[in-house]
Amino acid sequence: MKRTSTRLADGREILYYDTHDGADRTAPDTRPLDPAGAATRSEVRRDPLLGDAVVIASHRQSRTYHPPADACPLCPSTQGRASEIPAADYEVAVFENRFPSLGGGAGRCEVICFTPDHRTSFAELDEERAALVLDAWIDRTAALSAREDVRQVYCFENRGAEIGVTLAHPHGQIYAFPFVTPRTARMLATVAAHRERTGGNLFEEVLAGERAEGTRVVLEGEHWTAFVPYAARWPYEVHLYPRVRVPDLPALGGAARAEFPRLYLELLRRFDRLFDRPEPTPYVSAWHQAPVDGAGRDDFALHLELFTVRRTADKLKYLAGTESGMEAFMNDVRPEDAAARLREAGNQW
C-alpha cells in the first residue's frame, strides 16, 4: 500500500491510498477557500441526567446537501470543476471533513471515499479495493488513536437516502471522538460486570454461543463469523466478529485481514438481494472498537454491526416513540427468520 499525504486549499489534510507505488496524487487544490476551522463552532456538552456526551455543531446546517451528480464533491476533480479531491483519479481517498462535527483540538472528522466511480457501491467493489479500504481504516485508526485529544475511533458507512445520506457517492466517515461514546460505555460496563461475576469474557461467550447454537449464523469463514444477534433491534441486523478477539482494527492478524474482504462483500451483496427493488438496500455499517486507553480496553472485542432500516420491499422501520423516546426497541422480524433469509440470499446467484 502507498499512502500520499497532501493539503487542500484551506489547509485540511487529504490522504490517498493506492495499491501500487506509481500513482501520482500531487495535484494541487486551486479553489479559493477560507482557512479550515474559521466557521467551525463545535462543543461537547454533558447530559446532566444520563451522563452522555452530546456534540453541538450548529455550523453543519450549511453543509452540502444532495448535490447533482455533476457537482459531487467526492468525485475526482476535472478541468473546469474542482472538487474536494484535487487528483484526476484515485483508488481510496481520506480527507478532513469540511463541515466537521468535531474539531479544534477536540477530536477529528474524516471522510473516506471508497472509489472514484460515483455510480457504484461498496458491494460492487472487487476484493483488492475492499482490502485497500480495510488498510485505510487500519491506518487511520492507528494515526487518530495516537492523538492526545482522541478517546475512541469510529469507522462507519451510511448508505441510502432512507438512512439520511446527503451525498450519493460511495463513501464513509471516520470519527475520532474526544470521549468514549455512550453505546461503548454501556458495553464496557456490562462486560466488566460479567467479568467480575464469572471471570469470563462476555464477547467471547456470545460468539461461542451463537456458533454453537447455529440458527442465527449467516456466514462463516476460517477467521470470521457473521450472525444475527439474539436480541436484534433492527429488521435485518448482522454482527461480524473475528474468531480471535482483538480490541481494534490495527490489532487484527494477517489472516483475518486477508479473509475480511471476501466475507464482507458477500454480506453486503446478500443485503442487496433481500428485497426485490431496483435500488440498493439502505444500511449502516459500523465498526465498534475499544477506547484507545482506560479500563475495559483489554476485554473489548472489535466487531462490525451491519443493519438496514428496510423491513419489507415496501416498508421502512421508523423509530417509534418507545424507541426514540425510551430506547426500548420493538423488532417486527424474528432474528432467526432474518438469519434464514440472509442465508437464502447467498444462494440467489
Active site residues: 171
Characterize the bridge pairing of strands 92-96 and 13-18.
antiparallel
Using CA atoms, how far apart are residues 238 and 235, in angstroms rounded to an integer?
Answer: 10
C-alpha of 205 from chain center: 25
Distance CA 52, CA 338 (A): 32
CA-CA distance, 120 to 141, in Å (whole number)? 25
| β 236-242/303-308 pair status | antiparallel
**Cβ neighbours of 333 (radius 10 Å):** 17
DSSP-derived secondary structure for 36-81: TTTT--EEEEE-TTT--EEEEEGGGGGS--S--GGG-TTSBPBTTB
Q: Cell for 28?
A: 494541487
Secondary-structure percent of the chain, ordered helix, strand, coil, rounded to 5: 30, 25, 45
